Amino acid sequence: MMSLHDDRLLILDFGSQYTQLIARRVREHGVYSEILPCDVDPLRIRAFAPKGVILSGGPESTTDATGWKIPNEVYDLKVPLLGICYGMQALAKELGGRVESSDLREFGHADLFIEKEESLLTGLSDEGSLSVWMSHGDRVTQLPSGFKVIGSSDHAPIAAMADEERAIYGLQFHPEVTHTEGGSELLAKFAHAICGCGREWTPENIINDAITKAREQVGDGQVLLGLSGGVDSSVVAALLHRAIGDQLVCVFVDNGLLRLNEGTQVMETFAKNLGVRVIRANAEERFLTALKGEPDPERKRKIIGRTFIQVFEEQAAQLKDIRFLAQGTIYPDVIESAGAASGKAHVIKSHHNVGGLPEEMRMELVEPLRELFKDEVRTLGVALGLPKSMVYRHPFPGPGLAVRILGEVEKHSADILRKADHIFIEELRKADLYDKVSQAFTVFLPVNSVGVVGDQRRYAPVIALRAVETIDFMTARWARLPYEFVERVSGRIINEIGDVSRVVYDVSSKPPATIEWE
Ligand code: XMP
């Protein structure tokens, strides 16, 4: 029987910022793909036995002696190869062509003229040209023998090349980015028509495969999961519940720093609607006591992380015979901790995350999402019956509201902030703006600003609204929310909460500002 991973492509990473995108695009067409760094142990390339290899772009130049080479094992596989940008240049150079650095860096849109003869590119455009995304300094100036030009642009007469006999292809542009017209279809054509891959990588098959594997791994053992209400742990809960039912026990730690009604919602979704065993640990007081008198953001994060572990361990200690610990590790975490392409183009996000558990817990890990990208996790979540509003929710930091209350955290401020946040998010949803921004929240500023209520002057704290648009959360632009909308939110917060004197809107982008205020 065909299995989910049988038809697979290898994406060899030369350090491009787009490498993960290539893998995602390929998977969107139902083909499993995995990323390995270009300097990986070549035995792993052979062992992976892909039906085709895509060589990514990268920051280096093949005209430098130090530029990465394509491992011999890639050629030895005798499967179709597709080089993108640096990948194309490396292919051209190693197979006997010529690559030159050009004075003109081509960056952005370019028109690609497609040769008439049938090739990887024909059929992608009715007009005979495509608007494609270029980002490179070098270009191929002489074809290796056996190759022909299949596409050209004004600055790159050899913008796409092919050796049909050996099924080796090179593209100077980036088909994986959405700005490239026909790019996704091109990758689909490579995966299906050229490499002969089927379409096995579907949500249903992924779920079935994960269920089978989880059952095999845990047998009749009990599995513990820290459920935070975030997307990853929620999907793990839904998936494992389907796989092993009551053998899964979730612990949900309510640290008192969650959004309005969040604890109740988590319990409703999982315990009530799905029938998952969830133990709710109400630890608000414990967290607030631990945080008392501490204004420093990093120390607040550490206190929360430490307290979380204590509470979680205490809960786990009350359960008997637990041998497995489930975690929502996803594929980008796996790639980043492995350090793709010697970590060159990959900046690793390091946050003091809550939820990291100490090694002494000595339980075997169950990580059913290890192979999946975030968008795949979301698709699975919906397929498993989780509410869309939960699966497509903005990210929420582990330390919760504690990093949105500047300085010392007190219950009174957390309560005000929760209400303000609720109003802001509710209005965003009503105005159909929630999904148009990447993250939105409110911040509590413990400064007393004056206001007038009736004839009385009143001094009360300030609430800041923050909304950003971003793709990777490494850089972000403040969202241009309509004035009328901001006015409505401001009015509701001041009138309904009562203990807020004014509302301000944060117009700082990242960098130099960060998304959170602490
Ligand atoms: P910054 O503020 O660094 O945020 O621009 C980038 C993204 O990371 C989230 N963030 C955190 N997430 N623990 C987390 O789990 C944290 O301590 C933390 N600090 C920031 C932030 O919400 C944004 O999505």
Residue 514 CA, closest ligand 1 atom number: 5
Q: Catalytic one among 136, 174, 346, 422?
A: 174
Atom 9, ligand 1: which residue's CA is nearest?
397
Atom 16, ligand 1: which residue's CA is nearest?
397
Tell me if residue 176 is catalytic. yes
Atom 4, ligand 1: which residue's CA is nearest?
515
Residue 513 CA, closest ligand 1 atom number: 5
Burial class (CB in 10 A: 0-12, 13-18, 19+), 230: middle
Distance 177 CA to ligand 1 centre (A): 26
Confidence of residue 454 (pLDDT cuts 50, 70, 90): confident
* Ligand 1, residues at Cβ distance < 6 Å: 301, 351-353, 395, 397-399, 403, 439, 473, 510, 514-516
The pLDDT value given to residue 341: 46
Query: What mean pLDDT do residues 7-19 have?
Result: 96
Atom 11, ligand 1: which residue's CA is nearest?
397
Give CA 89 to chain center in angstroms: 29
Give the global pTM. 0.91
Distance 373 CA to ligand 1 centre (A): 19
Q: Catalytic one among 176, 200, 376, 427?
A: 176
Residues in the chain: 518
Residue 398 CA, closest ligand 1 atom number: 15
Torsion of CA 106, 110, 115, 121, to 10 degrees: 100
The pLDDT value given to residue 359: 60
- pLDDT tens for 401-430 read 999 999 999 999 999 999 999 999 999 999
CATH numbers and ranges of domains, the chain: 8-194 (3.40.50.880), 203-391 (3.40.50.620), 410-505 (3.30.300.10)
The pLDDT value given to residue 297: 97
Contact 471, 430 (CB under 8 A): no
Task: Report, in angstroms and rounded to the nearest whole number, the Rg of the chain calculated over CA atoms.
Answer: 26
Torsion of CA 172, 142, 40, 168, to 10 degrees: 70
- pLDDT tens for 99-158 read 999 777 778 899 999 998 889 999 998 889 999 999 888 999 999 999 999 999 988 999
The pLDDT value given to residue 506: 98
Comparing 123-127, 162-166, 171-175, the range with the smallest average pLDDT is 123-127
* Best mutation site among 257, 351, 352, 404 for ligand 1 pocket (most ligand atoms within 8 Å of CB): 351
Confidence of residue 358 (pLDDT cuts 50, 70, 90): low
The pLDDT value given to residue 106: 77
The pLDDT value given to residue 399: 96
Confidence of residue 361 (pLDDT cuts 50, 70, 90): low
Distance 321 CA to ligand 1 centre (A): 35
* Best mutation site among 473, 477, 510 for ligand 1 pocket (most ligand atoms within 8 Å of CB): 473
Residue 476 CA, closest ligand 1 atom number: 5
Distance 399 CA to ligand 1 centre (A): 9
Q: Does pLDDT of 340 surpass 60? A: no
- pLDDT tens for 367-408 read 999 999 999 999 999 999 999 999 999 999 999 999 999 999
Tell me if residue 352 is catalytic. no
SS3 208: helix
Distance 192 CA to ligand 1 centre (A): 39
Tell me if residue 85 is catalytic. yes
> In sequence order, which ranges of 431-464 are alpha helices (DSSP H)?
none
Distance 515 CA to ligand 1 centre (A): 7
Q: Does pLDDT of 347 surpass 50? A: no
Give CA 160 to chain center in angstroms: 30
Q: Does pLDDT of 356 surpass 80? A: no
Q: Omega into 512 within 30° of 0, i.e. cis? A: yes
- pLDDT tens for 40-90 read 999 999 999 999 999 999 999 999 988 899 999 999 999 999 999 999 999
Q: Does pLDDT of 329 surpass 80? A: yes
Residue 355 CA, closest ligand 1 atom number: 15
Q: Which residues pair with 502 in a beta bridge?
A: 462
- pLDDT tens for 86-109 read 999 999 999 999 999 977 777 889
SS3 428: helix
Q: Does pLDDT of 344 surpass 50? A: no
